[in-house]
Structure 1
Amino acid sequence: MKGHQARELLKKHKEGTLTSEEQALLETWYLTLAKSRRSAPLAEDELNTALDEIWQALPIGDSKEANDHNGMRKRRRWIMSIAATILIVCALSIYFYNNKAGREQPAISSVDDFLPGDNRAILTLADGEKITLNDAKIGTLAKEGQTAITKTKEGEIVYRSQPGAKAGSTVKEALSYNILSTPKAGQYQVQLPDGTHVWLNALSSIRFPSAFAENERIVKITGEVYFEVAKVNKGTKRIPFKVISGDQTIEVLGTRFNVISYDDEETIETTLLEGSIKINIGRDKGRGILLKPGQQIQVNQGSKNRKSAAVSPYTIRGVDTQSIVSWKDGYFRFDNTGLAELMRQISRWYDIEVVYEAPVKDYEFVGKLERSAKLSKVLKILELGGVQFRVEENKLIVTE
């Protein structure tokens, strides 16, 4: 960071007008100064001392957080975690791209640009007919039983019972199932027959009936899907909503949550934003695991990641929920995200194969980037942190 840029951020810090991204940039700058004092890596006690000096140097001595011992300790742990790796703050790039005066852009190899993903999906009806939704016209697309399937002007697919239709299918009626699936570089939204809103990320799918049964609502998903579940009653009893993903079943009454269930990820991640859900894993259908808003459960995908019987099949942690669901609002959000995980996101969204020529380094990324950005901009941001690429046809090759 250049001197005038640092002074500008320090001035904004004193005025209390820094954004969270700018705050991260300022702290990262201090960390970089500390790490550059020596050519050899700092020992843990030396790093502790350096971080103490950095913290005292920051002009926040009269801030509430600085005087809050717990808040200071929490932030210091965060700084320690990112200082242990090569840190790159994506917000740094966004900040400088939006403030062009007086700066130089890093040089990268010229590549054929790749456009970001957009709204595209395939709807497979019960009779096997496939509808390419991005090409379909606005209006009624099909009818199944007493349900009309409509594409709105916003591009969402909506399932609505026609006038005079009974609410829910009877036990004797056979359910007819539809599948909505997105390819790489695709995303889509659907409103299910019960009014539940669903967002699908790239390379994802949801299987659901065109009309739910009277006593339960069950869907099956792959990939990454966000739910806002409608509350539906039968008399005074709430009709449960269940989501099957991999080896787990999520039981819901009415809530907002996100599920990541890709085959190439080591875990299935379920994050609760609002309400309450219960997770049942594998054949263990006992009392289940209850999540609270702000919690995420990571379930190992089968036994392939289970090193021993003593290893727990799941972990629960608190997370920044807005970071988890930012994809549906048009952003990549990185919160100490490793390079391999970040590359998998890029591969899905830009429909490009990622290949590694060298071992994956222990990078961590923090920040936010619009999903509407072209691939070239994303690569420029990553190259600021020392990651090197080249593009050959439809392959993104990580060279360093």
Structure 2
Amino acid sequence: MEFSKARELIQKYRDGTLTPAEKAVLESWYLDLGKADTEPIDAEYLESHLDEVWNALPIGKKPEAKPGRVMPVFRRLAVAASVIFLVGIGAYFFYTGPGTAPVTDAIAPADVAPGVSKAVLTLADGAEIVLDSVLNGQLAKEGNTSIVKTNPGEIVYKPSAENAGEDHTLTYNTIATPKAGQFQVRLPDGTKVWLNAQSSIRFPTVFSGRERVVEIMGEVYFEVTQKKAGSRKVPFKVLAGKQLVEVLGTRFNINSYQDEGKIKTTLLEGSIKVRESDHAGGGVLLRPGQQSELVATGKANKGSKSEFDVRTVDAGAAVAWKDGFFRFDNVGLPELMRQLSRWYDMDVVYHAPIGDHEFVGQIERSAPLSKVLKILEMGDVHFRVEGKTIIVTE
């Protein structure tokens, strides 16, 4: 932002006429200024007038500064050419306090609404049930297992206690979410599952064997319930593309979208082992707060072990989608746009170089598309929406 514009915004702040959106711009610019290695123009003016602005902004307390210049206290966050701080900005656009209408009530007629709870259940005989269009209550019965819709965004599998020990033919169900959809399911063993947009899970209608195995695509979060057969613990396994996850009881997230190119597995609690599905050995053990990455396509040489890239991450950021947020932690523009594409059911076209923008912050997923794009445009990225397409213009 040009210094003349900053001076204008500072003056509007002092006059009490600064709008929330303008305050967000000023806040973002102040942070960006703090990353600069060189002394800014008119440092004395900035030091005397920006400190009072900083104290009024919701992103933190005024940094201690030496006389005559603004201290670059945020330089450590400058990991790319362009970093736009969205945490404080998002609060201006999406905070809903007492007496205010939810953001979803303010969608313009031509705007794009966010995703909702919707999915399709495919039964063992191939019959399909559109879950978002049926009423709460029992939907079907597979053997001795009842399938019950408990609320608009969840179904529960309830095995009957009667004849629980009998041997039944193994049957499978599949739940799939479309773009702009998400859903929850409680599996027959009590394990809780959240499906993000454009995802699916295939699972048996009863877990009666020596292991519990499910297969997923897309992004799925698990809270696995421990299960025993006598004194033996029954392992829970998740097949996601070329990766197999083995657990006993834990909380973790798997992102296996094909267009991401990598399978990311993030552990929140307990322990899990991740390995390639075509290798009986190898793999790595993850601790809470760790994330593994595995290239999603191709096969390792016969007899070799893939090297998983394991790093410590903010596990909360990996599962923020489940709690209703986009949370960006140095996320590049292409990855960010893929998230928006799936959640708003939009295509993305680039009419300008992508650049090396990175984004940090949090935005509510309940916001309409126009508000999300408006925030992102504060990072010198511009968009145009035509029908079902988001065009990145410059």
Q: Taking structure 1 as the reference length, what is the TM-score of the superposition?
A: 0.77
Q: Which of 69, 87, 90 in structure 1 is aligned with 2:86? A: 90
Checking the alignment, whether the CA contact within 8 Å between 1:300 and 1:313 is kept in structure 2 is: no
Q: Which of 362, 366, 377 in structure 1 is aligned with 2:371? A: 377
Q: Which of 317, 323, 339 in structure 1 is aligned with 2:311? A: 317
Q: Which of 210, 215, 231 in structure 1 is aligned with 2:210? A: 215
Match in the other structure for 1:65:
none
CA distance in structure 1 between the aligned counterparts of 2:11 and 2:235, rounded to whole angstroms: 58
Q: Does 1:326 align with 2:324?
A: no
Match in the other structure for 1:123:
121
**Paired residues for 1:154-165 under 5 Å:** 155-165=153-163
**Distance 1:58-1:34 versus aligned 2 partners, 3 A rule:** farther
**Paired residues for 1:298-317 under 5 Å:** 298-303=293-298, 313-317=307-311
- For the residue of structure 1 that corresponds to 2:348, the secondary structure is strand
Shift, 1:288, TM fit: 2.7
CA distance in structure 2 between the aligned counterparts of 1:111 and 1:161, rounded to whole angstroms: 45
2:33 aligned partner, one-letter code: Y
Shift, 1:35, TM fit: 6.5
Shift, 1:136, TM fit: 0.9
Which structure 2 residue ranges, 5 or more long, are not aligned? 1-5, 15-23, 42-61, 67-71, 96-107
Shift, 1:32, TM fit: 5.8
Q: Does 1:58 align with 2:26?
A: no
After the TM superposition, which parts of structure 1 deviate over 6 Å for at least 4 consecutive aligned residues? 4-7
**Distance 1:59-1:179 versus aligned 2 partners, 3 A rule:** same
Match in the other structure for 2:111:
113
**Distance 1:191-1:314 versus aligned 2 partners, 3 A rule:** same
Shift, 1:280, TM fit: 1.4
Shift, 1:92, TM fit: 3.8
Checking the alignment, whether the CA contact within 8 Å between 2:239 and 2:277 is kept in structure 1 is: no
Shift, 1:5, TM fit: 9.8
- For the residue of structure 2 that corresponds to 1:383, the secondary structure is helix
CA distance in structure 1 between the aligned counterparts of 2:40 and 2:306, rounded to whole angstroms: 42
Match in the other structure for 1:49:
none
Shift, 1:266, TM fit: 1.4
Checking the alignment, whether the CA contact within 8 Å between 1:111 and 1:376 is kept in structure 2 is: no
CA distance in structure 1 between the aligned counterparts of 2:29 and 2:355, rounded to whole angstroms: 24
Match in the other structure for 2:200:
205
Match in the other structure for 2:131:
133
**Paired residues for 1:162-181 under 5 Å:** 162-166=160-164, 170=167, 173-181=168-176
The size of the alignment, in residue pairs, is 339
CA distance in structure 1 between the aligned counterparts of 2:92 and 2:192, rounded to whole angstroms: 37
Shift, 1:155, TM fit: 3.2
- For the residue of structure 1 that corresponds to 2:114, the secondary structure is coil
Deviates more, 1:126-135 or 1:350-359: 350-359
**Paired residues for 1:127-276 under 5 Å:** 127-153=125-151, 155-166=153-164, 170=167, 173-276=168-271
Shift, 1:372, TM fit: 0.2
Q: Does 1:388 align with 2:382?
A: yes
Q: Does 1:349 align with 2:343?
A: yes
Shift, 1:188, TM fit: 0.1
Shift, 1:391, TM fit: 1.2
Q: Does 1:397 align with 2:388?
A: no
2:83 aligned partner, one-letter code: L
Shift, 1:358, TM fit: 2.0
CA distance in structure 2 between the aligned counterparts of 1:35 and 1:183, rounded to whole angstroms: 49
**Distance 1:312-1:60 versus aligned 2 partners, 3 A rule:** farther
Shift, 1:301, TM fit: 1.2
1:30 aligned partner, one-letter code: L
**Distance 1:367-1:311 versus aligned 2 partners, 3 A rule:** farther
CA distance in structure 1 between the aligned counterparts of 2:210 and 2:295, rounded to whole angstroms: 30
1:94 aligned partner, one-letter code: G
**Distance 1:33-1:297 versus aligned 2 partners, 3 A rule:** closer
1:142 aligned partner, one-letter code: A
CA distance in structure 1 between the aligned counterparts of 2:390 and 2:94, rounded to whole angstroms: 26
Match in the other structure for 1:278:
273
Match in the other structure for 2:47:
none
1:24-58 deviation line (CA, Å, top 9, x unaligned): 959724336657848xxxxxxxxxxxxxxxxxx93
1:260 aligned partner, one-letter code: N
Q: Aligned-pair RMSD on alpha carbons?
A: 3.1
1:97 aligned partner, one-letter code: F
Shift, 1:156, TM fit: 1.1
**Distance 1:156-1:98 versus aligned 2 partners, 3 A rule:** closer
Checking the alignment, whether the CA contact within 8 Å between 2:144 and 2:159 is kept in structure 1 is: yes
Shift, 1:251, TM fit: 0.2
